Structure 1
């Protein structure tokens, strides 16, 4: 893979591979049952990147996911849109260099009687229609008048190829149903669609063994399979759903969607278009400043100008005049369109060339893109930062769809603490407050935010908050030193984590030969195991070097049976197979370098053969992999601690890399927080046609020009807690904890199902005391909420581990009209909290008045 998977993506890949492996075993068993598996993830989650990782693992195996290669694996990628297939093929090529020469678009003439293992074949609905040369002559219904069967010298059709592939016991056909809700047909009375024929089989073509649906929602896939009428003969094994909260936390999606619209009635196209141009110019400057500071290539932001389906040439020409007037340094070829006409369009004196949607992201010279509705199914452009829509107010659906294509972050990661570079802006000249609220409702209700519970915000006319000059330097220094926790991973690999850390430390010149040093210490573990479990190793060596078998002899005349056993010495081929199996267990890199270590002073090939045998035998010991994992974790913990300060001096992108490496663990890991640079906050509440300024408070870490921060969106309990804390003696500053990013205090906790989640307490408070500046975590959180008890457990565990780093760690809830507080720095309070699965009972047993 050319991309490093985010933790939520890696978990989904691991789960999908396990289900597909089960599906393969299910089909190869005596029952020959066909099955289906689904992968669902919201817009922008990287479904194609995850699919590339899954397909790589099917073809070549994966040490990270403990998956052996399937030598007979062949993938048929099916959608109802050839353009979508081309986009997917392009993305797979970008994601995986190993797949580049194995991606085949099925075209006539297709001269293979079977699909070849190790390849991905792209097919769309039209290629299997009755008029298609690929299937012409398959049966009477697919034969056109005047044509002979098997035209153009191909003596078989694609349906024959498909049948031969499915019936070959050495091949396993995985059919990817891209956007699985499409192409199924609507009514049971309809003639079965082509997709249904593929899934269910028809005539002499058997059903596809394994259907792997990839879709945006669980409901879409389930509805699709229901309409395909496959429940009676196909077992659905599992739906792997990528948690939208974890997708948002991964930094793949922009945190904020900002809506701008006129505050009064009238024609404001020109005014707000100029505003959009200034926005994209400002964001361009911000990206350039960030790139210069981090010594990286700058992102070149794009502005999308969305026009009606039948745009007025005069209106478009006027818009281009405004853009060029406001942005005179814009280059001649910087404006392009993605209209369905696919040719250059003339608007007044301007000729605007066509560019295909999939090229826009890489064509960084294009800075303004003219579009109509949702541009294209599956299109994404992470560098699209601003949209100005000339669509009329009734087109909120089209606007929302296009916004959904613009929410991916340009660098596939969050720019820590910088809301401006983590946002996308939508300017709506033809909307008023009432109709803009429809867009807001659609955004908050569609796939990309799943109801607003992900932490993604929709903001209307926000103001930028910057570091508050009234906050003492000591507070900022303490903020950076506060402990926070990573979200554990389900499929963490300690050896891979150590290898990634070693590469990073060596690349940043913090530890020369880090990889060599790591391997030497792991070789020491293997040497120690050889001595500690010498007897078990001797037996394992014998097992590798010999092949055992049995013979059954019988005499028909006397009805006698005699069983015999035998052993033969393993040949080089058998030893290499045992070595490869062992190398997958302890990772190929460790196996390779340990062989070199064992045979370092040898002068003949026998030493390498003996070393391969020893590696295979060591891998058979049940103690080997746990011991290697324990040592790998120990080394990683040691190095992360030793180079903690040096890592903080690196660029923001490198610090983010080390944070990801730190998080590659099945347990919460300690990380430090990043400083917030700015934050976008709404300062007004819009009700109908009236506006009301939100309440403000002083001494927030980020503030407006007057040193104030809006608090009107806090609930009454939060306001009461905030005012009480800031009225205490020695109060210096406070911080409203954001819902994502490394500038947020994060605490890991396990929910009722044992799944790890992230708690982000509401407030951090900073006060001066006898011991200097100290920080407190104060979290007003309703005890009646379904996650309340489990979050209390997480806070209690965190307080046990890091309580000495804080002045107070407290949870607050209103009980019978009074605010009650749990002081989680007290051991007896923690014990009572951890003993309860109902938050109300925990407060009743251990809380005091706030």
Structure 2
């Protein structure tokens, strides 16, 4: 893979490969047909995940512990040729091994079978009646005539090609259905071709293994439930909260839906144009500040109804040029299904292929119909205005989801405005659109209104209806900001982390940025020295492992005709070069190929004879001793922590794109590790709340928050406890400011790692950080977290807070947890050792607040 997978992508790929392995076994052993789906929110990188899966299918993968399927063929299907073209480009960009193995099936396709180790792209339009690929196909109904005559008697129909492929011995045809929610309605839909293809049609057998991919898989799942004799394997679901944390998606959706009826379409179009101009200025300023040559050029998408009249288009163009007169003549294009250039009055509007829009930065306004809701991908689309009228939840989810990708595939630190997207929907059903927006806010991929599984401390994004922009509050003393940026935050440990590969990634980054000279060589030398030492320390185990490498144990069974039973005789033989090489490759999987190669070179350089085979035998032997692998990983982790700490200040001077690389490496921790907070620079907050029933209410405002509007206030939605805590702290002597800690995974949010009831690492994000000046003028920070003791996560979070206070309590004046019991707010002071010990021994959170070790708040 050319890309480094995000942690959630890595997990999903492993799960998909396990499902495919199971499906393949069932098919070849029992002729059992299988199906399952990948459900991942729009922007999660589904195509990148699929590329990693296909690469592992074709070539095997040490990283995912899977063997290659030599008979694997992938048939990638969508209902739109532009989607296929875009998917092919994405897969080619992601998977280095697949460059020459991606073929679009054109109308003149002449192969008799689909070859193993190949990905073929097919779309529904090519299977319409009369198309070259289906001419002369045997009809499913024997009483029906053949579908037209073949134009080329030597050309097989696509159905015959599929039949020949499935019939070949040892072959496995994997049918990947892209945008799997489409084509799953009624048998009269043109895209019902999909269902026929899955079930078997026109002489082609049913697809052995069906793998659906979508952000909204409900239609696919329900349709597949109606198909008899096909096993439904569990869906692979990607937690959208993890996607949001990765920085691939926008944090905020600014949703504009009119509260009144009438001709407001052009008025809101003017508002959308104003928004895209503001976005252009903001991205330009960011590029100047970061000294980036590859600038983000925001795009305005105008979605119109089907078959718009020339008068309707002319009205849209007139408004655009009135509000944006500096636009170039070629700055407006369209992606209508006609695929032809338009002339609207005297204004030419050329057609552009959807997959080219992202790179065609001269296009600033894109006119579209359905294209932006059918798998289209253009991360620079910052503002959408849709004149369509849709109440279908799946459609609206897909449409809004298309606008959520971050242009740089990463979050912009400290800038909530650049991490947001604007959607102006004048004709959408307000109640439905608001409900979908709320679902997107929670990070759901399913339309289940009763699903409340999202962790309230890990909300994925916000939906804003009437936001106000916030900047650093001039009323807050300067010293508060330096204290904020010095406050410790913690990483949340990840699964499937390989410390040696993490060290390698860090060494490459540090060398690239010139922060540690020859970091790669230093890291290799350090771990080679560790291997030298462990070879002596574990000599007995290494000697035994060497014997295992050099010999192959086997057993001979002898029996006689006419007599029952066998006599078994164990024996050993010397391993040949191939067996030794396999043992060395096994060590490379555990130590990493880079370290194994470096250690072989290290041993050869120390040996007068330079015996390469002996060096590989030694390395293979060390790799078979689990204690050695554990120790090397521990030393790699320790060196990573030391280098990250040593370069903490220097890394802050790097551009954001380079810092993002280190953020990823910091996040690859196996234990909670300290990271720095980033001070917010530009933020936004809603001025009102829309309740699920449609009611609206203005939010109260407060002063002395670190980020504030022009009038020095910030609108905040606080519950009763939080209001009491804020009022109490604001009345304390020396109070100079407060910070509402963001509830999502950003660099501006303080996180405390804790283990939940199942032992899984999660993040607690305390509600408040308060700042005060002491008598000597120094600024101190107080961490205060109101949290209900009745909640199931109360005790695990308290333990996490206790561990945090144990290690970092000296950097705060107070670390307190507040809860209501008996009608009073009670507080636990985690800076006290006896409180921390009681928390660790407790079995009930409520009892802690009721005990004498707590006090009235």
Q: Same fold per TM (> 0.5)?
A: yes
Q: Does 2:629 correspond to 1:625?
A: yes
Measure, in 2, the Cα distance between the counterparts of 1:789 and 1:721: 21
Measure, in 1, the Cα distance between the counterparts of 2:213 and 2:390: 33
The verdict on how the C-alpha distance between 1:190 and 1:476 changes in structure 2, with shifts beyond 3 A counting, is closer
Q: Which residue of 399, 406, 431 maps to 2:403?
A: 406
The verdict on how the C-alpha distance between 1:780 and 1:128 changes in structure 2, with shifts beyond 3 A counting, is same
Measure, in 2, the Cα distance between the counterparts of 1:563 and 1:390: 80
3-state secondary structure, aligned to 1:116: coil
Equivalent in the alignment of 2:283: 287
Preserved contact between residue 373 and residue 402 of structure 1 (Cα < 8 Å): no
Equivalent in the alignment of 2:366: 369
Equivalent in the alignment of 2:509: 504
Preserved contact between residue 87 and residue 378 of structure 1 (Cα < 8 Å): no
Equivalent in the alignment of 1:798: 804
Equivalent in the alignment of 2:676: 672
1:421 shift after superposition: 0.2
Measure, in 2, the Cα distance between the counterparts of 1:225 and 1:827: 58
Preserved contact between residue 139 and residue 147 of structure 2 (Cα < 8 Å): no
Preserved contact between residue 41 and residue 401 of structure 2 (Cα < 8 Å): no
1:425 shift after superposition: 1.2
The verdict on how the C-alpha distance between 1:365 and 1:445 changes in structure 2, with shifts beyond 3 A counting, is same
Preserved contact between residue 186 and residue 227 of structure 1 (Cα < 8 Å): no
The verdict on how the C-alpha distance between 1:128 and 1:672 changes in structure 2, with shifts beyond 3 A counting, is same
The verdict on how the C-alpha distance between 1:656 and 1:46 changes in structure 2, with shifts beyond 3 A counting, is same
3-state secondary structure, aligned to 2:316: helix
3-state secondary structure, aligned to 1:783: coil
Measure, in 2, the Cα distance between the counterparts of 1:353 and 1:401: 26
3-state secondary structure, aligned to 1:276: helix
Equivalent in the alignment of 2:236: 240
Q: Does 2:790 correspond to 1:784?
A: yes
Structure-to-structure mapping, 1:301-340, within 5 angstroms: 301-340=298-337
Equivalent in the alignment of 1:759: 764
1:719 shift after superposition: 1.4
Measure, in 1, the Cα distance between the counterparts of 2:493 and 2:555: 48
1:640 shift after superposition: 0.6
3-state secondary structure, aligned to 1:385: strand
Measure, in 1, the Cα distance between the counterparts of 2:180 and 2:696: 44
3-state secondary structure, aligned to 1:511: coil
3-state secondary structure, aligned to 2:74: strand
The verdict on how the C-alpha distance between 1:320 and 1:603 changes in structure 2, with shifts beyond 3 A counting, is farther
Preserved contact between residue 788 and residue 839 of structure 1 (Cα < 8 Å): yes
Q: Which residue of 661, 679, 689 maps to 1:657?
A: 661
3-state secondary structure, aligned to 2:177: strand
Please say which of residues 828-837 and 775-784 is displaced more in the overlay: 828-837
Preserved contact between residue 396 and residue 436 of structure 2 (Cα < 8 Å): no
Equivalent in the alignment of 1:122: 121
Equivalent in the alignment of 2:174: 174
Measure, in 1, the Cα distance between the counterparts of 2:373 and 2:222: 23
Measure, in 2, the Cα distance between the counterparts of 1:386 and 1:535: 66
3-state secondary structure, aligned to 1:489: coil
Unaligned runs of 5+ in 2: none
Preserved contact between residue 75 and residue 122 of structure 2 (Cα < 8 Å): yes
1:723 shift after superposition: 0.9
Measure, in 2, the Cα distance between the counterparts of 1:58 and 1:198: 23
Structure-to-structure mapping, 1:506-521, within 5 angstroms: 506-521=511-526
Q: Does 2:847 correspond to 1:848?
A: no
Q: Does 2:647 correspond to 1:638?
A: no
1:83 shift after superposition: 3.7
The verdict on how the C-alpha distance between 1:580 and 1:151 changes in structure 2, with shifts beyond 3 A counting, is farther
Equivalent in the alignment of 2:84: 85
The verdict on how the C-alpha distance between 1:310 and 1:178 changes in structure 2, with shifts beyond 3 A counting, is closer
1:261 shift after superposition: 5.5
Deviations 1:678-724 (A, max 9, x none): 1111234679999875322211001111211123x222221121111
Please say which of residues 555-564 and 321-330 is displaced more in the overlay: 555-564
Measure, in 1, the Cα distance between the counterparts of 2:689 and 2:137: 65
Preserved contact between residue 240 and residue 460 of structure 2 (Cα < 8 Å): no
Q: Does 2:739 correspond to 1:749?
A: no
Measure, in 2, the Cα distance between the counterparts of 1:558 and 1:316: 91
1:190 shift after superposition: 13
Measure, in 1, the Cα distance between the counterparts of 2:344 and 2:442: 34
Measure, in 2, the Cα distance between the counterparts of 1:391 and 1:208: 37
Equivalent in the alignment of 1:724: 728
The verdict on how the C-alpha distance between 1:762 and 1:163 changes in structure 2, with shifts beyond 3 A counting, is same
1:588 shift after superposition: 1.2
Equivalent in the alignment of 1:356: 353
1:749 shift after superposition: 2.7
Measure, in 1, the Cα distance between the counterparts of 2:19 and 2:105: 27
1:413 shift after superposition: 1.2
Q: Does 2:248 correspond to 1:252?
A: yes
Preserved contact between residue 769 and residue 782 of structure 2 (Cα < 8 Å): yes
Please say which of residues 664-673 and 109-118 is displaced more in the overlay: 109-118
1:81 shift after superposition: 4.0
The TM-score normalised by the length of structure 2 is: 0.89
Deviations 1:810-837 (A, max 9, x none): 2222223222222222333334434456
Preserved contact between residue 304 and residue 368 of structure 2 (Cα < 8 Å): yes
1:416 shift after superposition: 1.4
The verdict on how the C-alpha distance between 1:341 and 1:649 changes in structure 2, with shifts beyond 3 A counting, is same
Q: Which residue of 575, 578, 595 maps to 1:573?
A: 578
The verdict on how the C-alpha distance between 1:689 and 1:599 changes in structure 2, with shifts beyond 3 A counting, is closer
1:784 shift after superposition: 3.4
Q: Which residue of 273, 277, 280 maps to 1:277?
A: 273
Please say which of residues 217-226 and 466-475 is displaced more in the overlay: 217-226
Preserved contact between residue 527 and residue 632 of structure 2 (Cα < 8 Å): yes
Preserved contact between residue 258 and residue 423 of structure 1 (Cα < 8 Å): yes
Measure, in 2, the Cα distance between the counterparts of 1:693 and 1:205: 61
Measure, in 2, the Cα distance between the counterparts of 1:406 and 1:375: 9
Deviations 1:549-573 (A, max 9, x none): 4444455489896655554443333
3-state secondary structure, aligned to 1:752: coil
1:35 shift after superposition: 4.1
Preserved contact between residue 337 and residue 370 of structure 1 (Cα < 8 Å): yes
Measure, in 1, the Cα distance between the counterparts of 2:701 and 2:440: 32
Deviations 1:764-814 (A, max 9, x none): 111122573211121222333444343333323322332222222222222
Structure-to-structure mapping, 1:473-552, within 5 angstroms: 473-552=478-557
Measure, in 2, the Cα distance between the counterparts of 1:724 and 1:258: 33
Measure, in 1, the Cα distance between the counterparts of 2:219 and 2:600: 51
The verdict on how the C-alpha distance between 1:567 and 1:154 changes in structure 2, with shifts beyond 3 A counting, is farther
Unaligned runs of 5+ in 1: none
The TM-score normalised by the length of structure 1 is: 0.90
1:210 shift after superposition: 3.8
Measure, in 1, the Cα distance between the counterparts of 2:45 and 2:30: 35
Deviations 1:365-388 (A, max 9, x none): 111111234534111221111123
CA RMSD of aligned residues (A): 3.5
Equivalent in the alignment of 1:424: 421
The verdict on how the C-alpha distance between 1:19 and 1:534 changes in structure 2, with shifts beyond 3 A counting, is farther
Measure, in 1, the Cα distance between the counterparts of 2:695 and 2:542: 80
The verdict on how the C-alpha distance between 1:264 and 1:115 changes in structure 2, with shifts beyond 3 A counting, is closer
Deviations 1:12-60 (A, max 9, x none): 22333344344445556x5565544432111221111111122223333
The verdict on how the C-alpha distance between 1:751 and 1:230 changes in structure 2, with shifts beyond 3 A counting, is farther
